[in-house]
Amino acid sequence: MGQLFKPSSNNVARATIIGALLVLAGTAWTVRYLQRSPYTTDVGVARAQPIAFSHEHHVGGLGIDCRYCHTSVDQTDYAGMPSTKTCMSCHSQIWNNAEMLKPVRDSWSENKPIVWNKVHNLPDFAHFNHSVHVNKGIGCSTCHGQVDQMPLVWKTQSLQMAWCLDCHRNVENFIRPREEVFNMKYIPPSGSEQQKLGKQLVEKYHIADERQITNCSPCHY
């Protein structure tokens, strides 16, 4: 009876198996890369707004506190967006004829709110409470980056679950004194000094242990 497969078939089989494994590994790496890339996360992508509002000018240049526009950030889940009245409290007197501010004046005269485009937009199944984080010593720049240096705001963090959990598992690395939460120029202590301060603040602000704050229910309910 003749031989069904030639000896070279073994080499073909090995090459096919190795090739299939390489394709699978490459596919998995590509999916993982895309899932974490700016293509998916929008990190570093400036979001256009109906009005060219510059945080760099208002926060970095003029020193306006975050809470002036985001009035409910330390009181409710939602940080709040500035109303037309907030804008006009300054711009009824300053730059009140500037062409770039015409949408603000139109909003005021027509009594129609300005519709801002969300930059940090979590999916509906994830819940984030601003007031809890702010009052527990997590600074605005920890999540939003140095907005005082941004002409237009962009995401500096992915906001994916792995990123959130990294903070929840290592709160002492990120926490700061409450009086420094809104300070965009805050520089945390280095290395062991931050660890020491962080552990003191975790205890002082009564932050729950890792098991509780990495549970599913606080963010997914």
Average pLDDT, integer, range 85-110: 94
Assess whether 51 and 100 both reside in one domain.
no
Domain assignment present for 175:
yes
Assess whether 124 and 107 both reside in one domain.
no
pLDDT digits (tens, 9 = 90+) for 114-166: 999 999 989 899 999 999 999 999 999 999 999 999 999 999 999 999 999 99
pLDDT band per the 50, 70, 90 thresholds, residue 16 = confident
Assess whether 54 and 91 both reside in one domain.
no
What pLDDT is recorded for position 85? 95
Statement: residue 39 has pLDDT above 80? no
Domain assignment present for 209:
yes
What pLDDT is recorded for position 56? 97
Helix H, strand E, coil C: the string for the chain is CCCCCCCHHHHHHHHHHHHHHHHHHHHHHHHHHHHHCHHHHCECCCCCCCCCCCHHHHHHHCCCCHHHHCCCCCCCCCCCCCCHHHHHHHHCCCCCCCHHHHHHHHHHHHCCCCCCCCCCCCCCCCCCCHHHHHHCCCCHHHHHCCHHHCCCCCECCCCCHHHHHHHHHCHHHCCCCHHHCCCCCCCCCCCHHHHHHHHHHHHHCCCCCHHHHCCCCCCCC
Assess whether 58 and 94 both reside in one domain.
no
Q: Which of 69, 94, 115 is the last residue of a domain?
A: 115
Range of the domain at 187: 42-81+118-221
Assess whether 110 and 172 both reside in one domain.
no
pLDDT band per the 50, 70, 90 thresholds, residue 20 = confident
Assess whether 62 and 164 both reside in one domain.
yes
Q: Which of 97, 115, 133 is the last residue of a domain?
A: 115
* Least confident stretch, 31-35, 41-45, 83-87, 146-150: 31-35
Assess whether 77 and 87 both reside in one domain.
no
Domain assignment present for 109:
yes
Q: Count of domains in the chain? A: 2
